[in-house]
Amino acid sequence: MGQSHMDTQKNLKKIGIIDCNNFYVSCERLFNPESIGRPTVVLSNNDGCVIARSQEAKDLGIKMGEPFFKSREFMDQHRFCVYSSNYNLYGDMSDRVMKVISEFGNDIEVYSIDEAFVDFSNIPQDELNDTLLLIKEEVKRKVGIPVSIGVGPNKTLAKLTSYLAKKSPSHNGVCSYWDIKNFRELCYNIDVDEVWGIGRKWAKKLKNIGVESVGQFINTHEYTVKKLMNINGLKTQLELRGFYCHPIQKKLKPKKNIASTRSFGKDVSGLNQLGEAMYTYIKNGVKKLSQNKLLANKATIFVTGNYHKGDKYHFSKVIKLQKPTRDADLIWSQIAQQYGKLCEKAEKYKKCGIIFNELTPDTIVQTSMFSEDVILVRVPVNQTQDWEMRQEYITQKYTTSWDEIPKVFV
């Protein structure tokens, strides 16, 4: 490191974390007004468990990750609105939110589908709160999604500020680090694993040496922190002390792997159906390769049993592709035989998938002189599709399909 911004520019930066409130629920509510005011949840792929909750649902005690079948009856009794996850909708809405936000800051780093770090250093300190409120209103008005904003001198403190703001609802969804009076004292009441960048593993190590709160962590000797964690742990500590170590990353890092995998709606057996499923996932994966302008050099294929039913098996195989490609039929032809062998190992499976590894940009075309022609294997025909994901409560592609735009009545 040794860069000047690590040690000299204390408190000069203004870094914001913007996150969409209960994002998936907010997306559903925008197009399904019947869910406004009612407890609402969104389920994971295959309707397995709860992955987003409205405030009403949280207040009724529904937990994140709760299996749907366990709380189904309770939800019926309390007139819940339940939705399967609709990633076409969430992806598009996320893109719109990020675009509106990016107009206000210097730089934006889209951190996840519903979160972004923004460099607000361009905004004068005395205008900060008004500007943040304006951003919040603008996103709501233009795109219809409610957001919360936390701002601090760096990413770690922005995150912690945002965490504190959520704990005390008086902040109107907008909170600045510099407005929190007794910040250092508050830190002694916050569990150390609430800090951005401190995962469960590190939190456990810290607790082993008696460091339980954020306040204690801030005051731990740097040497101990570096030894116990690593340079990133040290950076986290420095950021909590007010230094700026994690710059906004404008560009997405190039993808290392692309995975296309899903659970089936029910257990699947037989090569026909398993083949169909795999071929569909290859086609999905190829689409992602194409969107990222990449070719795959290797593919990892796998099949997995139903863990919940005690079928704890997972078979996989890495296959070197003859040349970098994103041609679904060529890929299928090269994996079909090996895949067949994997599928024979057990009676039934719950999940299969393909991960493309060693990706190269499609601008670099390497033609190997010795590459043999691939013998094409007949692709599995779509007959039944009854292995498809369970998505009983999915809503429409309101913003990405002309056939599914919302209806307005008189």
Partner 1 sequence: MLRHQNPIEINSTTTGFASPAETYVDKRLDLNELIVKDIYTTFYFKYSGPEVFGVKQGDTLVIDRNEEPKTGDLVVLTDKTFFKLREYEEQKNLWGKVTWILKKT
352 neighbors 303 (Cβ within 8 angstroms): yes
* Closer residue to partner 1 (CB): 73 or 403: 403
For residue 397, how many other CB atoms are within 10 A of its CB? 16
C-alpha to C-alpha distance for 238 and 121, rounded to whole angstroms: 19
Positions 243 through 302 that interact with partner 1 (CB under 8 A): none
Instruction: State the sign of the Cα–Cα–Cα–Cα dihedral 263, 268, 271, 275.
Output: negative
Positions 127 through 146 that interact with partner 1 (CB under 8 A): 141-144
* Closer residue to partner 1 (CB): 36 or 64: 36
* Closer residue to partner 1 (CB): 349 or 398: 398
Positions 151 through 180 that interact with partner 1 (CB under 8 A): none
Per CB under 8 A, the segment of 3-11, 244-252, 270-278, 399-407 that binds partner 1 is 399-407
State whether residue 224 is helix, strand or coil: helix
Which amino acid belongs to residue 244?
Y
Residue 408 found at the interface with partner 1 (CB under 8 A): yes
C-alpha to C-alpha distance for 293 and 94, rounded to whole angstroms: 22
Plot region of 231 (φ>0 → left; ψ -120 to 50 → alpha; else → beta):
alpha
Pick from 254, 270, 361, 406: which binds partner 1 (CB under 8 A)?
406
C-alpha to C-alpha distance for 327 and 353, rounded to whole angstroms: 16
State whether residue 127 is helix, strand or coil: helix
Residue 95 found at the interface with partner 1 (CB under 8 A): yes
343 neighbors 302 (Cβ within 8 angstroms): no
Per CB under 8 A, the segment of 190-198, 220-228, 290-298, 400-408 that binds partner 1 is 400-408
* Closer residue to partner 1 (CB): 137 or 347: 137
Residue 223 found at the interface with partner 1 (CB under 8 A): no
H or E element at residue 18: strand 15-20
Least separation in angstroms between CB 350 and partner 1 = 37
Q: 80 is written with which tokens?
A: 């819940």
Residue 399 found at the interface with partner 1 (CB under 8 A): yes
Pick from 3, 7, 12, 34: which binds partner 1 (CB under 8 A)?
34
Least separation in angstroms between CB 287 and partner 1 = 16
Residue 402 found at the interface with partner 1 (CB under 8 A): yes
* Closer residue to partner 1 (CB): 116 or 278: 116
Pick from 181, 253, 256, 407: which binds partner 1 (CB under 8 A)?
407
- From the number of C-beta atoms within 10 Å of its C-beta (0-12, 13-18, 19+), residue 210 rates as exposed
Which of 398, 401, 409, 408 has its CA nearest to residue 30?
398
Pick from 63, 99, 250, 266: which binds partner 1 (CB under 8 A)?
99
* Closer residue to partner 1 (CB): 260 or 399: 399
Strands of 81-84's sheet in order across: 50-53, 40-43, 81-84
174 neighbors 148 (Cβ within 8 angstroms): yes
Residue partners of 118: CB distance under 8 A and separation at least 6: 15, 16, 17, 18, 101, 102, 104, 105, 106, 107, 108, 109, 248
Per CB under 8 A, the segment of 33-41, 146-154, 307-315, 362-370 that binds partner 1 is 33-41
- The count of residues interacting with partner 1 (CB under 8 A) is 20
* Closer residue to partner 1 (CB): 33 or 65: 33
Positions 35 through 64 that interact with partner 1 (CB under 8 A): 36
Least separation in angstroms between CB 97 and partner 1 = 9
C-alpha to C-alpha distance for 333 and 375, rounded to whole angstroms: 7
Least separation in angstroms between CB 409 and partner 1 = 5
Pick from 6, 100, 259, 377: which binds partner 1 (CB under 8 A)?
100
Least separation in angstroms between CB 27 and partner 1 = 12
* Closer residue to partner 1 (CB): 101 or 175: 101
Task: Please report, as ranges, the residues that interact with partner 1 according to CB under 8 A.
Answer: 33-34, 36, 95-96, 99-100, 141-144, 398-399, 402, 405-410
